[in-house]
Structure 1
Amino acid sequence: MTVLLTVLVVLAILALVIPGTTIRVLREYERAVVFRLGRALEVKGPGLVLLIPVVDRMVRVGLRTVTLKIPMQEIITRDNVPAKVTAVAYFRVLDADRAVIEVEDFLAATTQIAQTTLRSVLGKAELDTLLADRDRLNEDLQKVIDQQTEPWGVKVTTVEIKDVEIPEPMQRAIARQAEAERERRAKIINAEAEFQASAKLADAASVISRNPTTLQLRYLQTLREVGGDSNSTVVVPLPLDLIRPLLRGMPAVTDSSNGQALSGSANTP
């Protein structure tokens, strides 16, 4: 009786343990690399996977895109400026078989390759390129990292530079450079405005020379602008035709030092 009870207990334990070691269920984004006595079989999944106890060993591999945060790397740019750069890479496993067989840990290996490539590629670029031309640098990083991980069945889809930290003295130098550039543009704009204004004044002078009446109209307009609504000064314009007869009757006043006329004379027009 005791032997029978022991056999039943053992069978019950085996009935509970064996299904857990022989049956695996894989999700849609998972694949299984099965090793039978150390020899790799074809990739299985998704769905139900049956294993032989003790004989088979399964390695589960996810096919979803992985977000890899590349730790901050200290680099020296081509123009000898120290900087700290952080980046992020996106990759996914295309061949689960190679990802398990060709490399011990594809995630750790991809991380190390990404860090090394980040220092290598950005170290060849100048600071201005690192700050202003990130798109091209991102493409270069993606191509180099993808070439290194392709034998492992890993596809790097995107690499993005997140942040660039430069020393504070260099930040002040860049700010002064930007300020000088804005001042240069302002001076150029002012010069172009003066040139355009002088051209318009030349055109106006040409029109006025052909018709002297326009000068009188401009004079009256200027007086109207001077005597605006908020101005307490009263401006009374006098036509030049009324002043000319008075100027003709005034004797010429001569400066005793150089003999030049100071007021109107009979020859005054």
Structure 2
Amino acid sequence: MTWLIVAVAAVLAIGVVLFFSLKVLPEYQRGVVFRGGRLRPLYGPGVKVLIPVLDRLVRVDQRVVTLTIPPQEVITKDNVPARVNAVVMFRVTDPVSAVVAVENFSVATSQIAQTTLRSLLGRADLDTLLAHRDDLNQDLRTIIEKQTQDWGVQVQVVEIKDVEIPESMQRAMAREAEAERERRAKVINARGELQASDELRQAAETLSRSPASLQLRYLQTLLELGADHNSTVVFPLPVDIITPFLKSVAAAAQERP
């Protein structure tokens, strides 16, 4: 019986030792091991054996992490208050640096992203913030990655999700857009009238070179008037037809004593 108890205790002890000694790392994780406080070579995926008490394993996930930046109160370059939130996607490329160089790389990346977002958007005006987000996203990514590359963190995507501006500013922008549309409509109408007047001038010049064409145009006009069953008939009389008559009358008046 004594030997049986000893054997069971030994088996339990071995089981406990194996439980604390054997670690399984998935394919997407790497293990940073400290033995007696000293850094060991990086552990890859698979089954790893650790020395209990002496070894401490820190798991580092190398998958892409999506980090949501909470809404930030910013004042643009043209003194317009706005609330802006964004999303940052990053991954760890150097697990050792991510553990040794910074206390918590995820929190540090979030703080750097928030500070950079407020600083960069404070140097841009509202029109740039609304119409040139791609350029701002690229600038944000470049600045944030410059800070995090020493931590073994690679920033892959930075996207501004939403921009909230005061309601009064939204109404002012709506009035500005409406005025711009009215201006373009008036310009298009003026250009249309200019082109129409030019075409009419060319048509008048063409008809003036051919009196017969002008007479045919008169007859076509009468035909169009008669198609509506109107009782009134209008005969257009060009000025150049009565001009010789007016000249002869004026000459006769001058010859009289």
User: With structure 2 as the length reference, what TM-score do the two structures score?
Assistant: 0.86
Counterpart position of 2:47: 48
Q: Distance in 2 between matches of 1:148 and 1:239?
A: 84
Counterpart position of 1:107: 106
Equivalent residues in 2 for 1:78-227, closer than 5 Å: 78-226=77-225
Stretches of structure 1 lacking an aligned partner (at least 5 in a row): 249-269
* Distance 1:232-1:11 versus aligned 2 partners, 3 A rule: farther
Stretches of structure 2 lacking an aligned partner (at least 5 in a row): 246-257
Shift of 1:19: 1.8
Q: Could you say what secondary structure the match of 2:156 adopts?
A: strand
Please say which of residues 207-216 and 174-183 is displaced more in the overlay: 207-216
Counterpart position of 1:57: 56
Shift of 1:9: 3.2
Shift of 1:22: 1.1
- Tell which has more relative contact order, 1 or 2 (C-alpha 8 A, sep 6+): 2
* Distance 1:18-1:136 versus aligned 2 partners, 3 A rule: same
Shift of 1:21: 1.2
Q: Distance in 1 between matches of 2:10 and 2:129?
A: 68
Shift of 1:16: 2.1
Q: Does the 8 Å contact 1:223/1:235 carry over to 2? A: no
The structure whose residues are more often helix, as a share, is 2
Q: Distance in 1 between matches of 2:22 and 2:231?
A: 105
Counterpart position of 2:255: none
* Distance 1:221-1:7 versus aligned 2 partners, 3 A rule: farther
- Percent identity, aligned pairs only? 59
Q: Distance in 2 between matches of 1:185 and 1:225?
A: 36
* Distance 1:94-1:173 versus aligned 2 partners, 3 A rule: same
Question: Given residue 196 of structure 2, which amino acid in structure 1 is its aligned partner?
Answer: A
Q: Does the 8 Å contact 1:69/1:89 carry over to 2? A: yes
Shift of 1:18: 1.7
User: With structure 1 as the length reference, what TM-score do the two structures score?
Assistant: 0.83
**RMSD over aligned Cα atoms:** 2.1
Q: Distance in 2 between matches of 1:126 and 1:226?
A: 62
